[in-house]
Structure 1
Amino acid sequence: MKKRLYNPHLAKIHRSYTIEEAASLYGVFKGTVRAWIKAGLPVINDKRPMLILGSDLVAFHQARRKKNKQKCKPDELYCVRCRTPRKPAGKMVDYQIITDKIGNLIAICPDCESIMNKRISLLKLEQLTGKITITLPQALQHLIDNHQHSVNSDLKQE
């Protein structure tokens, strides 16, 4: 079973918590908090009730998050289903514009075939041109530029 990561900002740093209070704060069982203590979460002392400093709770969960973080290479996107950075299938991605400076890369995971996304700036997009094939959105054709008449037009061709 995968370890679940908890929000480190739930605990207040200037407060101390009992095991029961920490369990209800994070929505877990008391045994889970005891497992955290065995895994290295410091307690104030070994006397009952065991008290945990809020700052220690925050530091413990931040350290666990940092340890499990995975950095993507420039030509990789993070697959949420596989939980690992992967290169896109066929080395092909689509670029979806969000603003004039940033956009999303959208690709398919080669292993689980789910959609992968990555936010990227337009400046960094140029660095990927040789590594992966990027499909940029095409502007729609204006009606004025179209040389064919509409099917429902009343214009007489001469």
Structure 2
Amino acid sequence: MKKRLHNPNIAKIHRNYTVEEVAILYGVFKGTVRAWIKSGLPTLNDKRPMLILGSDLVAFHQARRTKNKQKCKPGEIYCVRCRTPKNPAGDMADYRIITEKIGNLEAICPDCDKIMNRRVNISKLEQIRGKMTITLPQALQHIIESNHPSVNSDLK
């Protein structure tokens, strides 16, 4: 079964929770919360009902989220399927514009042949490039700038 990461910001840091309340809050079974306690989620005491501080719950989920994070080096893009940063196939990537400052680098994974994406600020594109050849989108040519205007015109 796939491990699911939960949003740490759901829990209120100034509140105490029981095992049942945490289960309802995160939409999991009570047994899952008890497994979290066995794996390191601190409780106030071992007596029932077990109380969990909201701040401990937030810290526990933040630690679980950052534990497996991997930074991409220059020239690398993270492959979600392989779960590791890799150099793209042929060291080639395409830049797709999202806003005027941000875009996506899209490339093909050399191992699984699937699309890899990396969100990039256009001002930091040179720092991220590494050995990659990045294809930037070409601006579309306006019809006025064309040497051959459209033939579908009634104007003379």
Q: TM-score range by the shorter chain?
A: 0.7 to 0.9
Tell me if structure 1 keeps the 8 A contact 2:143–2:150. Answer: no
Matched AA of 2:58: V
Cα 1:14–1:135 change in 2 (3 A) is same
Q: In the alignment, which residue of structure 2 is the partner of 1:76?
A: 76
- Please tell me the root mean square deviation across aligned C-alpha atoms, in Å: 2.1
Are the counterparts in 1 of residues 74 and 129 from structure 2 also a CA contact under 8 Å? no
Q: Deviations over 1:44-78 (max 9, x none)?
A: 11111111111111111111111111111121112
Q: Which runs of 4+ in 1 moved over 4 A?
A: 153-156
State the distance in 2 between where 1:15 and 1:149 align: 69
Structure 1 residue aligned with 2:24? 24
Tell me the residue number matched to 1:40: 40
**Farther-moved stretch of structure 1 (38-47 vs 136-145):** 136-145
The reply to whether residue 108 of structure 1 matches residue 108 of structure 2 is yes
- What SS is found at the alignment partner of 1:144? helix
Percent identity over the alignment is 77
- Seen in structure 2, the aligned counterparts of structure 1 residues 104 and 55 have a Cα distance that, compared at 3 Å, is same
CA distance in 1, matches of 2:129, 2:2: 36
Task: State how 1:2-13 maps to structure 2 within 5 Å.
Answer: 2-13=2-13
Q: Which has the greater radius of gyration? A: 1
Aligned residues: 156
Structure 2 alignment gaps of length 5 or more: none
1:91 equivalent in structure 2: 91
Counterpart of 1:15 in structure 2 is 15
Question: How far apart, CA to CA, are the structure 2 residues paired with 1:33 and 1:149?
Answer: 68
TM-score under structure 2 normalisation?
A: 0.87
